Structure 1
């Protein structure tokens, strides 16, 4: 009964007119490391960028967009702090492309701070003075022993046993990004990168800061052809349900989708598909929720109730 009433409230809060038109690019370019070993890193990055430019231009020809989104680590090197002359030229090329098209862009890349490297989402858009500005969100919830190794156990012997371990550092935690769009509108974005979408408390902490939109960049190509991409999408949908906040989810190989505040997804680009899509994000009145206020309350409460019920059932008659 509560669910029926609450869903009615959520649907009433969502207006029919879109407040945001988002172009999402899913290029389905996978096995980057293997391709780089065969063709060279520059050639692979060149192909990735050319593909995303062409697919984005096709979306722009279909109609005006407020925002373009490319997936996690789509630019597989540092942006803004190039490691080579070629890297600096590619950085400038991306900036020029955004400026010429006049559409703000969010894309996955690496962010460098001294010797510390981060998995990041880069935001490129107009500043208050009209010039191109950039800001980065750094991923905090890194996958252990794949993206990140705790300093206490980071040894050469461990890396010899687990050669795939990454060297990214953890970001500063849940953070809202105020992203200026064309026309001066400031969009309050709760960014998530891949694995972060499975942590209810983390997402709630971002949304609680006043988010208008959850924006998730992901790379699920490791699990292409298995149920995992859809399972990851389902996890992401629960974050929108818990916080009653719309979500744009863009992946490199699927499943990309728009998720509304009731958890229903549309504009779906399926696993192992190359395609672009336009997502129409409706305007919605801000809704409160228990998860938004308390975080991941359901699991602990259910555990306590289960223990109480177990003790009550086992008591002597």
Structure 2
């Protein structure tokens, strides 16, 4: 019986809804039917569009376009009828690989800037960095779509499969081949402190899964099955995400917390001069001058002064007078934590010295009270993997300094004035959630020193800072960050920036930092929760996929 025959008439809203649904069905249909290079191009462009969800753009609405398009592209892939599992899933892998190539190419192109600092020596490697790294990282997203397609269904189950596939890929990206979890999808859902707090409950594993699920839900607009249920779940997740953030941000700060007066120095040293012996004294004098100036209005003399990564322009073993100068600069009770290259002389005759990218704590007597070496080094930047083989092929270390570094054995907290314990992380070590959480339980302060000047005023330093912010939220600890020329900042345990210096600024800022912990859950529980979220999506996808394959009664 028709609507007219039954006396029922479609209202304006019903007609508009039907029209909208037909529009999405037409768009999805065209995407599903794409083939060959057109399918690869659309996947590539969708991946490039998804980068707009990351810092510094923070245009998260782009995710609601990029990920549904990828879902529809997967809807259009067919499993090979013969061959093993890998061959059957090859079309789905290819779609994800092209998406990943677009995502990482558009999101990491700025890495090439480091090679242009010494262009006469390293410009040849520019294609390897700008194109080669995205080519490799794209394999993770190819894996994500292949896994998702293996438990695919025609309803909301495929959105759950999609979320699980990407969460699994991002987890693997965090540690395979030393790990590089830069611009994980979950960061797109956390552009401001209000939206960062859920990370303290489910960690990055959970946030990656939840973000992909919510971004992909609009793909259901192209059909009728589970449309309302899918959007209801997405709205509920977003409401919980925002609500929890509001509750945590408005919770009162603990009473009678201790404070630490800190000065963070951002010297903005030109990298072309950084290792030039003729200007080292001038660089060092600039560091001393910025550190010893009178406190800013309303601030006390700093108890702790923080210099960026490798900010000391020479080895202390070669210039012991530098320690004397630092001791003369520091007032009684002050401490300097500085990024420096530490030399460990070889024990055997004829053996080479070992060098470490380190932070050193120097007291008011000009003595090194403590030192922590960088544990997680940057491949090709700070050390050369398989150096014997690659050097024979003419490949050398590319960017970080005049020598190869050795990795430190362990990280420990440094005792700073006021009785606090500061846990140091050098440069990109801070992007690894599990690495930061290992020792955070015994610390009261996270310290991150870096030198983002290699990448200039590009998205790179903003993305690096965003990831450092989230480490503060996850562990419920304040963060001190000193960059040679990046974003130096002080962040509270809830991810709010107390004060910061902009890129290209040269100066020093004084901040009174409240020292307290606001950890919602332990790192172990946060990790468990993240895996539970992933497993729930996998189970939902698997059950719905099996149900679809069961014969109808």
Q: Quickly name the TM-score band, shorter chain normalised.
A: 0.7 to 0.9
* Equivalent residues of 2:324, 2:366 under 8 A apart: no
Structure 1 residues not aligned, in runs of 5+: none
3-state SS of the aligned residue for 2:415?
strand
Q: Deviations over 1:69-91 (max 9, x none)?
A: 11110013323x22xxxx23333
Distance 1:252 1:279, change over 3 A: same
Point out the structure with the larger strand share.
1
- Which residue does the alignment assign to 2:440? 207
- Distance apart, 1:225 and its partner CA: 1.2
TM-score, normalised relative to structure 1 = 0.83
Three-state SS of the structure 2 residue aligned to 1:168 is coil
Tell me, in whole angstroms, the C-alpha distance in 1 between the residues paired with 2:533 and 2:286: 48
**SS, match of residue 405 in structure 2:** coil
Query: Aligned to 2:413, which of 176, 189, 195?
Result: 176
Q: 2:260 maps to what in 1? A: 20
Q: TM-score, normalised by structure 2?
A: 0.49
- Give the ranges of 4+ consecutive aligned residues of structure 1 lying more than 6 Å apart after TM superposition: none
Give the match for residue 360 of structure 2. 122
Aligned residue for 1:25, secondary structure, equals strand
Once the two structures are superposed, the pairs formed by residues 1-317 of structure 1 within 5 Å of their partners are 1=240, 4=243, 8=247, 11-15=251-255, 19-31=259-271, 34-35=272-273, 40-41=276-277, 43-60=278-295, 62=297, 63-79=300-316, 81-82=317-318, 87-98=319-330, 100=331, 103-114=334-345, 115-125=353-363, 132-150=367-385, 152-155=386-389, 157=391, 160-164=394-398, 166-179=403-416, 181=417, 185-208=418-441, 210-284=442-516, 286-294=517-525, 296-297=527-528, 300-317=531-548
Distance between the aligned counterparts of 1:61 and 1:77, measured in 2?
29
Worse-superposed segment, 153-162 or 103-112? 153-162
Indicate the structure (1 or 2) with the bigger Cα radius of gyration. 2
Matched position secondary structure for 1:109: strand
Higher relative contact order (CA 8 A, sep 6+): 1
Q: How many residue pairs were aligned?
A: 296
Q: Structure 1 residues 264, 15: closer, same or farther in 2, change over 3 A?
A: farther
CA contact (8 A) 2:327 2:366 kept: no
How far has the Cα of 1:273 moved from its partner?
1.1
String of CA shifts for 1:187-227, please: whole Å, max 9, x gaps: 2111111111001111111212x211111111111112101
Quickly say closer, same or farther: Cα 1:279–1:293, change in 2 above 3 A: farther
Superposition RMSD on alpha carbons, in Å?
Answer: 2.7
Q: Would you tell me which structure has more helix in proportion to its own residues?
A: 2
